[in-house]
Amino acid sequence: MPTNLNPKSETSAIVLTPTGSKNDVAAAVPFQIYTGSADFLEGASLQVNYVYRKLGGDVVDIELTSANVYSAYEEAVLEYSYIVNLHQAKNSLDASLGDVTGTFNHLGEIISGPTGSNLKYPRFQASYAQKVGDGLATKAGFGGTNTIYSGSFKIEDNVQDYDLQSIVSTASDSGNDEAGRSVPYSGKLNTGPGGDQQRIFVTQVFYRSPRAMWRFYGYYGGIGVVGNLNTYGQFADDSTFEMVPTWQNKLQAIMYEDSIYTRTSHYSYELKNNKLRLFPVPRTSSGLSLGFGDQNEIWFKFYIKEDSTADAEYDDGVKGVNNLNTLPFDNVPYENINSIGKQWIRKYALALCKEMLGQIRGKFTTIPIPGESVTLNHSELLSQAKDEQKELKDKLMEMLKETEYQELSRISSEKAETAAKTFGFSPLPIFVG
């Protein structure tokens, strides 16, 4: 006969009490994630009475302890948090890639980094669309709200590579560029927690190209003479404008300038990782800069990302969110779970209690009592528990799937379309005057 049974009363030595105590919850739950919440302690203690009534504690013995119920309640809250966070991760991952991530402890709680990210809602409305548009406009160079700064550096003899990030950083720290001019971006490249500076994004590099007039008038012509042997020949200024209209001269100048810019520039460059390489290598001879004419200074435009997560190297990507694993999501705060979620938690915790009760009763298929034996319903409890858990999780995930942001956008679009059709059937007002 099992030692945990009392043959005299034919009851188990351990049975669930009708009520719980919130003072005992903190010491009973294994992870203690929500023990700092008074609402959680209250909810876990009330779960004891809920399980006691639902499993018929007034009629039959329930071989569970209050600690078993508290643990099941904590697991139910964590399971709910997991499913909701997974849903939110699918919603916001595309908008969070490259953002600052965080560090987490063994409980999944954020130690450092942005908190409450899983509670944020990136509403796609006019302001959000404007934010996206501003970023694209800034990148394309035709607008945006990011401040565009201008920087410069002096060309050095036999120096081909120039680190624009370092040049801007030095000017930002000192407040002046190489020429001693004050810069408007002084102190803008703030040093981050890891010692990394905010990254600049270069949008344009300026350089001089050969003048169109050199090609247009050419070395075959002189003052007041148009020289172009490929089109209309060489004429004196007295006859030029009689044969060639002024607008045609202008169009030809534009064409020549574009051709020179594209095909016959004095030099070129490549930009990678904010490092500029000039071609050819600048060289000086007798005080003259070969390959760059009389140019001794290069100018460029750039902007600074306001919430940069990249370091100054930025070779292959950014150090931040790159998948679901690095999203700065902590466990959903218990206080932020509404009545819908808390009812789900109660039911799921009840199903977990059924599973534990089934495991306990499954240790002894039958229990001998004086003159008789009792067959326990462990298999039925286990089956019910598994089915209820699966049904609860499936319903929750189905509901969350129906409320994904793209689905909500589709529903809103259909509502707007329906409203437009309804208004289309409305007669126009008649004005009499």
**β-strand pairing of 275-279 with 110-112:** unpaired
pLDDT of residue 25: 97
Residue 302 has a CB neighbour count (10 Å cut-off) of 22
**β-strand pairing of 268-272 with 275-279:** antiparallel
Select from 178, 56, 109 the least CA-distant residue to 332: 109
Please check whether residue 355 is in contact with residue 382, taking contact to mean a CB–CB distance below 8 angstroms: yes
pLDDT of residue 196: 54
Say which residues have a Cβ less than 8 Å from residue 300's Cβ, sequence separation at least 6: 150, 151, 152, 164, 202, 204, 205, 206, 276
Q: Write the burial class of residue 229 (CB in 10 Å: 0-12 exposed, 13-18 middle, 19+ buried).
A: exposed
**β-strand pairing of 366-369 with 372-375:** antiparallel
Judged by DSSP in three states, 418 sits in: helix
Q: For the chain, what percentages of helix, strand and coil (3-state, to nearest 5) are there?
A: 45, 15, 40
pLDDT of residue 117: 84
pLDDT of residue 41: 97
Cα gap 78→31, rounded to integer Å:
10
pLDDT of residue 128: 52
Cα gap 19→42, rounded to integer Å:
12
Please check whether residue 45 is in contact with residue 75, taking contact to mean a CB–CB distance below 8 angstroms: no
Q: What is the mean pLDDT of each run of 10 residues along the chain (433 residues)?
A: 44 85 95 96 97 93 95 98 93 78 88 84 58 66 75 88 92 89 86 61 75 47 46 45 64 73 67 87 58 71 64 48 86 95 98 94 68 71 95 95 82 82 74 68
73-112 burial, b at 16+ Cβ within 10 Å, e below that, comes to: bbbbbbbbbebbbebbbebbeeebebbbbbebeeeeebee
How many CA atoms, within 13 angstroms, populate the side-chain half-sphere of residue 201? 16
Residue 394 has a CB neighbour count (10 Å cut-off) of 10
